[in-house]
């Protein structure tokens, strides 16, 4: 799949496009307003803040919607509380269950603790420990956490089985009218906050996993700001919405990269897909597949420059603004004039500090500052010293040296990681490797061997 993929757009604002008959199963902007009234005392509006760094980088006027500052550090509390508030007393007595990669679980735990409803929450093994601990802390005595499977979809099966056996109500992560309405309050707040500042957005950049957030936001925007540009940012390793729109229905991806755990969903929801597909009659929706390495670069800049702790899914939408050619012809935001106001949702701040070594590694590889090689060394004294003296440049540094095995009496391969001061130093390094007469294989980031590096 190409890095940037466009879906069918709508005419520009004010042209009065024909609107398809409304799907009666989808929530409306009025449903979002009712959700906002429920959420008001529980989840206060999150700030809308100007992003100086991204504004300077893009030439746009970029504003961040800080969903990482909710009580659960993501927007997920909005939908979870909306659904829980709509349950009957009998349903509350039976308890609830859910599956989650982490953030939805925190939203459900937060809601259950306030409503006095018990919950059994299923998380995949890939959920960072920080998120597991937060679920337990937010839910307290009302929540039991169960680890099930390696991905979200495995946990979802376990939650469904538990519900069938116990009578507990499933609170889906995204595919539910109440979830969509609750997440849509993000867009409602953006419109109210920008209006208070005297403007309305020219474009929004929204992260996409199961598509609950974008479905809710499009529900509001389609009725209240038709023609606005929307960039839907998906992880390159989990482009489930792009696959659904291409197929005309939700489909399962053959493979999902779990790194962006908050958005690594194999299949978007049926209801969320219908909401997104319906909205494209009035809203110009463009999809962008954002490489995981670029997400890591943005995570580090958010942290080091802006002082914002974002998880991979939280940095997904801001990273989309850094895609090559994002504003050029054919790019996802082509045609936006300099200074156009763009609102970007920072969707979550639940990052485990233990992941930063991996994040730095992926960022360096993406920026071309770190490379890996399989080097066949002769089994003789001084071979490594000659490699250091003759091959490494003055600013090159060996960050990994893993001797694998002896192939025969004469040679043995080693996995060598080299970090450089500038990506422009790579041609010189490759030339020196060639002159060394060593047998060398450069490892592509697409190679299965990179699983060893990032394990």
- Give the tens place of pLDDT for each residue, 45-103: 999 999 999 999 999 999 999 999 999 999 999 999 999 999 999 999 999 999 887 78
pLDDT of residue 439: 87
For the chain, domains (ranges, CATH) are 4-72+178-359 (3.40.50.1100), 76-170 (3.40.50.1100), 368-453 (3.30.70.260)
Q: What is the mean pLDDT of residues 254-266?
A: 90
pLDDT of residue 437: 80
pLDDT of residue 8: 37
CB-based burial label for 275 (10 Å; 0-12, 13-18, 19+): buried
pLDDT of residue 45: 97
pLDDT of residue 272: 98
Higher-pLDDT residue of 1, 183: 183
pLDDT of residue 338: 94
Alpha carbons 123 and 156: distance in angstroms, whole number: 9
Q: What is the mean pLDDT of residues 127-151?
A: 89
Between CA 209 and CA 308, with CA 301 as vertex, the angle to 5 degrees is 70
Q: What is the mean pLDDT of residues 26-55?
A: 96
Active site residues: 76, 347
Query: Which residue carries 């597991």 as its tokens?
Result: 132
Between CA 377 and CA 386, with CA 380 as vertex, the angle to 5 degrees is 65
Number of residues written out for the chain: 455
Between CA 48 and CA 54, with CA 49 as vertex, the angle to 5 degrees is 125
Instruction: Dump the DSSP string for 273-338.
Output: HHHHHHHTTTSEEEEEEEPHHHHHHHHHHHHHTT-----HHHHHHHHHTTSTTTTSTTSTTTTPPT
Handedness of CA 50, 53, 54, 56 (dihedral sign): positive
290-299 tens-digit pLDDT: 999 999 999 9
Query: Do residues 315 and 262 lie in contact, with contact meaning Cβ atoms separated by under 8 Å?
Result: no
The neighbour count for residue 416, using CB atoms within 10 Å, is 22
pLDDT of residue 381: 81
Query: Do residues 46 and 69 lie in contact, with contact meaning Cβ atoms separated by under 8 Å?
Result: yes
pLDDT of residue 47: 98
pLDDT of residue 196: 98
Alpha carbons 50 and 227: distance in angstroms, whole number: 23
Going by DSSP bridges, is the β-strand pair 48-50/169-170 parallel, antiparallel, or unpaired? unpaired
pLDDT of residue 449: 62
pLDDT of residue 17: 40
Least confident of 8-22, 187-201, 264-278, 285-299: 8-22
Most confident of 79-88, 143-152, 255-264, 380-389: 79-88
Alpha carbons 296 and 289: distance in angstroms, whole number: 14
At 9, the pLDDT band (50, 70, 90 cuts) reads very low
Q: What is the mean pLDDT of residues 381-392?
A: 86
pTM: 0.87
The neighbour count for residue 137, using CB atoms within 10 Å, is 12
Residue 408 has pLDDT above 60, yes or no: no
Tokens of 52: 């100086």
Query: Do residues 402 and 415 lie in contact, with contact meaning Cβ atoms separated by under 8 Å?
Result: yes
At 216, the pLDDT band (50, 70, 90 cuts) reads very high
Instruction: Dump the DSSP string for 398-429.
Output: EEEEEE----SSSEEEEEEEEE-S-GGGHHHH
pLDDT of residue 450: 60
Query: Do residues 379 and 407 lie in contact, with contact meaning Cβ atoms separated by under 8 Å?
Result: no
Residue 139 has pLDDT above 60, yes or no: yes
Query: Do residues 450 and 372 lie in contact, with contact meaning Cβ atoms separated by under 8 Å?
Result: yes
Residue 4 has pLDDT above 50, yes or no: no
pLDDT of residue 386: 86
At 237, the pLDDT band (50, 70, 90 cuts) reads very high
Task: Name which of 315, 320, 318, 346 is nearest 331 in CA terms.
Answer: 320
Percentage of the chain exceeding pLDDT 70: 91
CB-based burial label for 388 (10 Å; 0-12, 13-18, 19+): exposed
Alpha carbons 150 and 129: distance in angstroms, whole number: 14
Alpha carbons 2 and 30: distance in angstroms, whole number: 37
Residue 380 DSSP class: S
Query: Which residue carries 């394990």 as its tokens?
Result: 455
Mean pLDDT, rounded, of the chain: 89
Residue 12 has pLDDT above 50, yes or no: no
pLDDT of residue 410: 64
Q: In 167-281, which ranges are continuous DSSP H helix?
A: 177-196, 212-224, 240-247, 270-279
Q: What is the mean pLDDT of residues 336-358?
A: 93
Task: Name which of 229, 302, 231, 286 is nearest 53 in CA terms.
Answer: 302
Least confident of 204-218, 230-244, 308-322, 437-451: 437-451
pLDDT of residue 407: 54
Query: Which residue carries 């047998």 as its tokens?
Result: 439
- C-alpha 96: how far from its chain's center? 26
Alpha carbons 151 and 454: distance in angstroms, whole number: 17
């Amino acid at each position: 799949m190409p890095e940037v993929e466009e879906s069918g757009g709508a005419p520009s604002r004010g042209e009065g496009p024909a609107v398809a008959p409304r799907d009666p199963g989808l929530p409306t902007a009025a449903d979002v307003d009712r959700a906002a009234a429920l959420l008001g005392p529980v989840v206060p509006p999150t700030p809308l803040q100007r992003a100086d760094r991204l504004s300077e980088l893009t030439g746009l006027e970029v504003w961040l919607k800080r969903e990482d500052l909710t009580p659960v550090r993501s927007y997920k509390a909005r939908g979870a509380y909306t659904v829980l508030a709509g349950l009957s007393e009998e349903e509350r007595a039976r308890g609830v269950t859910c599956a989650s990669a982490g953030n939805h679980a925190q939203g459900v735990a937060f809601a259950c603790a306030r409503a006095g409803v018990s919950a059994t929450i299923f998380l995949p093994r890939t959920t960072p420990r920080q998120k597991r601990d937060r679920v337990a802390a937010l839910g307290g005595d009302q929540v039991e956490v169960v680890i099930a499977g390696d991905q979200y979809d495995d946990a979802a099966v376990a939650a469904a089985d538990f519900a069938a056996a116990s009578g507990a109500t499933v609170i889906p992560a995204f595919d539910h009218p109440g979830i969509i309405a609750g997440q849509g309050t993000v867009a409602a707040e953006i419109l109210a906050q920008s209006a208070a500042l005297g403007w309305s957005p020219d474009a929004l950049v929204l992260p996409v996993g199961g598509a609950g957030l974008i479905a809710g936001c499009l529900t509001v925007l389609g009725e209240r700001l038709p023609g606005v540009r929307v960039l839907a940012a998906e992880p390159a390793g989990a482009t489930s919405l792009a696959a659904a729109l291409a197929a005309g229905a939700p489909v399962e991806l053959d493979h999902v990269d779990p790194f962006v755990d908050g958005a690594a969903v194999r299949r978007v929801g049926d209801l969320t897909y219908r909401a997104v597909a319906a909205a494209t009659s009035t809203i110009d929706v463009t999809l962008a597949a954002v490489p995981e390495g670029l997400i890591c670069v943005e995570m580090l800049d958010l942290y080091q420059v802006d002082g914002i702790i974002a998880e991979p899914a939280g940095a997904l939408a801001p990273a989309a603004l850094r895609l090559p050619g994002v504003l050029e012809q054919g790019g996802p935001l082509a045609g936006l004039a300099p200074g156009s106001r763009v609102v970007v949702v920072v969707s979550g701040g639940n990052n485990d500090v233990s992941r930063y070594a991996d994040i730095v590694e992926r960022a360096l590889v993406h920026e071309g500052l770190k490379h890996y090689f399989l080097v066949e060394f002769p089994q003789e004294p001084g071979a490594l010293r000659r490699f250091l003296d003759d091959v490494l440049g003055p600013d090159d540094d060996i960050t990994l040296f893993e001797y694998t095995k002896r192939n025969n009496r004469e040679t043995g391969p080693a996995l060598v990681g080299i970090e450089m001061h500038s990506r422009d130093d790579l041609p010189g390094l490759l030339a020196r490797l060639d002159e060394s007469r060593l047998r060398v294989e450069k490892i592509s980031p697409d190679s299965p061997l990179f699983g060893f590096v990032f394990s």
